[in-house]
Amino acid sequence: MPASRDRPPLLFTAALALASCHHATARPTAVAVTAEPTARHTVIDRYHGVAVTDDYQWLEETDAPVVRAWVAAQNRHSRAALDAIAGREAIERQLTTIYNAEVASYARAVHRGGRLFALRTRPGGQQPFLVVMPSADERDAERVVLDPNVLDPTGQTAIDLFTPSHDGRRVAVALARNGSEVGTLHIYDVDTGHALADTIERVSNPTGGGSIAWAADNAGVYYTRYPREGERPAEDMAFFQQVYFHALGTDPATDRYELGHDSPRIAETELSTSDDGRWIVAAVANGDGGEFAHYLLGPTGGWRQITRFEDGVAEVVFGPDALFLTSHRDAPHGTVLRLPLDAPDLRAATVVVPTSEAVIKQVVPTRTLLYVVDLVGGPSQVRVFDHAGHPRGTLALAPVSSVNSMMAAGGDAVLFRAETYLTPPAWFRASPDASAPVITALRDEAPVRYDDAEVVRESAVSRDGTAVPVMVIRRRGTVLDGSNPTLLGGYGGYGVSMTPSYSLTNRLWLDRGGVVAVAILRGGGEFGEDWHRGGNLTHKQNVFDDFIAAAERLITLRYTAPERLAIRGRSNGGLLMGAALTQRPELFRAVYAGVGIYDMVRVERDPNGAFNVTEFGSVRDSSQFRALFAYSPYHHVTDGVTYPAVLLTTGEHDGRVNPAHSRKMAARLQAASAPGRPVLLRVSARSGHGMGSSRSEVIAEQTDVWAFLFEELGMRAP
């Protein structure tokens, strides 16, 4: 599930915008919808005097032959049901055409040594590959540094992390296989593409992520590492992340320990450096709940702690001669503090950007300016200040757009990546010399346009009176008569914000009279830390109330009706789907839930579940247990209820959410559901949580998702 370290969550990838046909009538599925009954072996656990019954705990034993046989049977049943859907092959061809027509896309760009590095995709390629070019305006001069499609023609190897050296001559890369997010560090020469002999295993993991930073002299790297065999008990191998230093050309077994002995078991560490590499900051997250401590390493050596978890500092970035801190202490929307590098005592920090209605998400210092990227309920704005905090204006952005990445680009210029619901991502350059940001050559080229579409901001009222924004993407002139097939999504967790994002495939949905909606839920970060805290720990039910209110509002406004309403979510959004369908089954016709969490009583027993305790809570705490058990989807499936049609998907290599959640939820829903609507489980042997999945794997899964929802909502193929 997405964590505070993110890499944004696989929340609403382009592949998930689904198509429909206006005024279609629902029809039964093409094949039998009932899977073979799953054996019940009742286990009763007690928590704080409460007996919790679990009939399918045996499905947690991933490697047990009986579980593997059960998964195989479920896949056969789902495969038969999905393959029998009329038009499925046409959907697959359509998706393949769309993905392969995407000419170029650039992400995770970074400047080093007068060069620009970025991950790029190409038509038909299974994985993004690493390129280098002189600047964002010289795309024609780009050169491939490392292509995992060449390393592994099966498409199962992905670049998990990459960090170029300060002189731009080498790049450290973590490679992971099968979507596992378990990365091995390699060093490549940028000019030749040849790998050095240096190889270090276990630098990244789906539990706490991973990070790499180069030394100032480019002769070695600081890196995160998880325990090696023999260093910790087996149950601790995905915990206790620490920082080490490796000098190039030496035996990794002799690498020097740097930091982490005193960090929590669930630490997630992110390394960043000053432009010259002389200073390094290690941001240590206390699991996924949004608490951070920061450590500074200077030219004289020795790490110095400069913030603690209780200080409320979310981010520390380097300016030319100072650190700039984003603080949430007594400021849920954030303030920016300035801290001199030569005397980094938090008590001496001064406020340079005070709190406001906007939520501060990123601060990018340049030679004399501060660019502050804000969220305003989801969409972005960018304010500009000098280093003393004097306002210098606001950048002109497209309406309802998101700025999801920004970096300094020399002098007082910055490069940033922006997109909207209707226009694909592109990198822009902004500087005091230009009246408005200028688009660079690094722009996504996509085969679809949305000239006839619009974004409408609606609002719902949750159970406790809280206003819940709902972003609606529709064709202009859409008739509100209650018959539009509508796809509603949401997330609501970890302070992750649902910012505007472009979809390659929403065009298909809109062309068939459909409406796409995104609910902005508590638990996210769209309105600051109070909005996040209003939807985590014992307040998690607020997230589900918000989502249900959004669905009801779309019906009241006559966008749709329950029999025309489908919902979707992944990971923490999968939990949202489970809660929504068990709490209000009559409100939805079909549900897609990917890599979801469903058993909230046992989730913390998994490695990544332990990292989630600071976001969800723990059964060890009586009040938190009662909150978890009160909404746990798995425990609130009721026999004989007419549930929506449900498709659950998961990957065998998922290290963020145990696939057992999907297995148990499928078994329970299949046993309980009234006849007539399917509950399908799709388990992939070639993927994990979604990061690093090959393009063919994405197309295969999304073909099934589209086909399922088309069938359940009675949508004819065009």
Degrees to nearest 5, angle at CA 532 with 531 and 537: 125
Listing from the earlier edge strand, what are the strands of the sheet with 256-259? 212-214, 220-225, 242-247, 256-259
CA distance 708 to 718: 16
Q: What is the DSSP string of 280-329?
A: EEEEEEETTSS-EEEEEE-TT--EEEEE-GGG-EEEEEE-SSEEEEEE-T
Which structure tokens are listed for 604?
A: 């913390």
In 3D space, the residue among 105, 10, 707, 112 whose CA is nearest the CA of residue 407 turns out to be 112
Burial level of 49, CB count in 10 A (0-12/13-18/19+)?
Answer: exposed
CB 459 within 8 A of CB 467: yes
Give helix then strand counts, H and E, for the chain: 12, 38
CA distance 64 to 643: 30
Going by their DSSP bridges, the two strands 467-475 and 486-489 should be labelled as unpaired
If DSSP codes are grouped into helix, strand and coil, which group holds residue 453? strand
* 661 counts as catalytic: no
Which structure tokens are listed for 494?
A: 């970890």
CB 48 within 8 A of CB 622: yes
CB 577 within 8 A of CB 650: no
CA distance 379 to 420: 9
Going by their DSSP bridges, the two strands 515-519 and 220-225 should be labelled as unpaired
Tally Cβ neighbours within 10 Å of residue 184: 16
If DSSP codes are grouped into helix, strand and coil, which group holds residue 649? strand
In 3D space, the residue among 590, 697, 549, 544 whose CA is nearest the CA of residue 18 turns out to be 590
CA distance 649 to 663: 9
CA distance 357 to 130: 38
In 3D space, the residue among 14, 9, 19, 7 whose CA is nearest the CA of residue 487 turns out to be 19
* 571 counts as catalytic: yes
Torsion sign, CA atoms 228, 232, 237, 241: negative
Catalytic residue among 405, 571, 662, 693: 571
* 434 Cβ neighbours under 8 A, 6+ residues apart: none
Letter string b/e over residues 271-305, b meaning 16 or more CB atoms within 10 A of that residue's CB: bbbbeebbbbbbbbbbbbbbbbbbbbbeeeeebee
Q: Region of 617 please: left (phi>0), alpha (psi -120 to 50) or beta.
A: left
CA distance 466 to 523: 13
Listing from the earlier edge strand, what are the strands of the sheet with 426-430? 401-408, 414-420, 426-430, 438-443
Catalytic residue among 673, 689, 693, 694: 689
In 3D space, the residue among 681, 679, 658, 656 whose CA is nearest the CA of residue 10 turns out to be 656
CA distance 213 to 224: 9
User: Which residue numbers are catalytic?
Assistant: 571, 689
